[in-house]
Copies of this chain bind each other. A is one copy, B any other.
């Protein structure tokens, strides 16, 4: 690998002293225009980069980096990458780059990742979670503005932005009710053995939204229509199969996410049932490769990943101009109409 050019190299090539190069780098006025020009040309020619410490003594902050984004595994899984896109695109409008670090779930790695971002003087930090959940962050975060995306602090000490899961569950169920369905199966996220939702906003909130919509239409809640999947493809397939074997089977199935809908499509196809004529299916997430790729394309509910990323950056930008209040902001999960329901 080539050696990095030094101030000495610049000085020698430009035929000036080291001190003159240094003065040019620091925009010192005591350099004549011709010399400045010559030194600048050599600097560009060598792609010389003053080291970071020298630059910081001059400017005290980088011009290029805005915020840092720390995540459990958003950038190593396919589900929530739009949060990164929403955040970066919003920040780029300010001409700024976002540094991203993937930390997993272990405390040691999370602390080291946070240290790495703070050391590099990010002006604010977004902590983004792959799935909607409570989080605890190391105490070092007190040093810069922080916003949590797709997660929240149980004690409310950080501003957070999360999906409105109840509204999403309501939108999906209401869509089916408005199409005339009254027997609506719900394959929720959770443990098939326990028969109760896990203590997570997605499972609890969507179930609440399902019940709210049923109540609005005076349809009694029937617990035989509710089941839980652990997310395994075979489980998704089996549960859809079992729902259709009920003495009074559903005419529509609300799936806890789009992967569940994929298994549901497989089961209905094997039973010779057509979507949506025989059974309507609705998903959750709007995971595009699946929702658009299925045949017929899947009606589903949008998780607002892009909007959460955008909102998080806008909040941090507002924090630069003052001290915005602590917020717990929810973003709607709108229905995406396709052809399965």
In the complex the two chains form, is A140's CB within 8 Å of B47's CB? Answer: yes
Name the CB-closest residue of B to A106: B92
Q: State A52–B290 Cα separation when bound (angstroms).
A: 45
Q: Mark A90-103, 1 if CB is under 8 A from B, else 0.
A: 00100101111111
Answer whether residue A246 sits at the interface, using C-beta atoms and an 8 A cutoff.
no
Residues of B within 8 A of A82 (CB): 76
In the complex the two chains form, is A259's CB within 8 Å of B113's CB? Answer: no
Instruction: Tell me how many chains of this kind the complex includes.
Output: 2
Q: Mark A54-83, 1 if CB is under 8 A from B, else 0.
A: 111100001011000000011111110110
Residues of B within 8 A of A73 (CB): 85
Answer whether residue A144 sits at the interface, using C-beta atoms and an 8 A cutoff.
yes
Q: Which of A100-157 contact B (CB under 8 A)?
A: 100-103, 109, 112-113, 115-116, 118-121, 139-140, 142-145
Answer whether residue A210 sits at the interface, using C-beta atoms and an 8 A cutoff.
no
Residues of B within 8 A of A100 (CB): 75, 99-102
Of residues A112, A139, A297, which shows the largest number of chain B Cβ atoms within 10 Å of its Cβ?
A: A112
In the complex the two chains form, is B119's CB within 8 Å of A62's CB? Answer: yes
Of residues A97, A143, A144, which shows the largest number of chain B Cβ atoms within 10 Å of its Cβ?
A: A97
Q: Which of B55, B92, B116, B119 contacts A109 (CB 8 A)?
A: B92
Residues of B within 8 A of A292 (CB): 233
Answer whether residue A293 sits at the interface, using C-beta atoms and an 8 A cutoff.
yes
Question: Which stretch, A168-176, A200-208, A264-272, touches the partner chain B?
Answer: A264-272
Name the CB-closest residue of B to A102: B88
In the complex the two chains form, is B290's CB within 8 Å of A293's CB? Answer: yes
Residues of B within 8 A of A98 (CB): 101-102
In the complex the two chains form, is B85's CB within 8 Å of A1's CB? Answer: no
Answer whether residue A319 sits at the interface, using C-beta atoms and an 8 A cutoff.
yes
Enumerate chain A interface residues (CB-CB to B < 8 A).
1-2, 4, 47, 49, 51-57, 62, 64-65, 73-79, 81-82, 84-85, 88, 92, 95, 97-103, 109, 112-113, 115-116, 118-121, 139-140, 142-145, 233, 236-237, 259, 262-263, 265-267, 269-270, 287, 289-290, 292-297, 319, 323
Can you list 29 pairs linking A and B with CB atoms under 8 Å apart? A1-B145, A1-B319, A1-B323, A4-B143, A49-B143, A52-B56, A53-B54, A53-B55, A53-B57, A62-B119, A64-B112, A64-B116, A73-B85, A76-B82, A76-B85, A76-B88, A77-B81, A78-B78, A78-B79, A78-B289, A88-B102, A97-B101, A97-B103, A99-B101, A236-B293, A259-B289, A265-B295, A266-B296, A290-B293
